[in-house]
Amino acid sequence: MNVLFVGGVHGVGKSTSCETVAARHQCLHVRASDVIRQQKASAAPVGTKLVENVDANQCLLLRGFEQVKRTASTGPILLDGHFVLRDLDGAIQRLPTSVFAGLGLTGLLCFEDDPLSIATRMNERDQTTVDVDDIASLQAEELRHARDIASALALNLKVLHAFDVGGLEAILTKLRNGGDKAHPPREGDNHAR
């Protein structure tokens, strides 16, 4: 079973892109936050993007995602989540590489966008004021950690611009055809656009 982890900061178009591609290609789209909430209703505080207990939530994700894989068909799964999160103190926390190893991934994708565009989108969607510098620093760390995970797990990482549905479809097609499976990183793999 192919599992593509689709990461990126809040407001960069992960869920929207995954939903579109899943509907067009009859594959399963799973949000990591939904899996965690299903495992423990209070895992993520309501109305905030800050996470109360990052490590405990990742254990819930691993347990819940195993259940998802057992009940899923053999088609690809798009697992939508993050490489880093902000804790309740606002500090950026890298999710452990062991979590990504435990998910049984065959590839990694990270969406990125101009921080101002993300902030504008989040302000309109969530009716909140988001600091552009905070988004920029979070996105930079998200991309750095995605590259580190790809290297540590010998997985291919693709970086796409926000809402690049065509790029996601191309990656999914390669996965289905066996062309983008895990492999030792080559020069440029972790910087693909």
| AA letter at 116 | L
What is the H or E stretch that residue 65 is in?
helix 54-71
Distance CA 157, CA 6 (A): 10
The pLDDT score that the predictor gives to residue 189 is 46
Residue 54 or residue 36, greater confidence: 36
Calculate helix-pair angle for 115-126, 132-153, nearest 10 degrees.
Answer: 110
Q: How many domains does the chain have?
A: 1
Cα Rg of the chain, angstroms: 16
The model's confidence at residue 41, banded by pLDDT at 50, 70 and 90, is low
Which one, of 37, 53, 40, 108, lies nearest residue 79 by Cα? 108
Which one, of 85, 81, 103, lies nearest residue 94 by Cα? 85
For residues 85-103, average pLDDT: 95
The pLDDT score that the predictor gives to residue 105 is 97
The model's confidence at residue 21, banded by pLDDT at 50, 70 and 90, is very high
In which domain, by residue range, is 30 found? 3-191
The pLDDT score that the predictor gives to residue 43 is 41
Residue 135 sits in a domain of what CATH number? 3.40.50.300
Beta-sheet pairing, 107-112 with 3-7: parallel
What is the H or E stretch that residue 144 is in?
helix 132-153
Distance of CA 44 to the CA centre of its chain: 16
For residues 63-88, average pLDDT: 92
The pLDDT score that the predictor gives to residue 178 is 80
pLDDT of residue 153 exceeding 90: yes
For residues 117-133, average pLDDT: 92
**What is the model's pTM?**
0.86
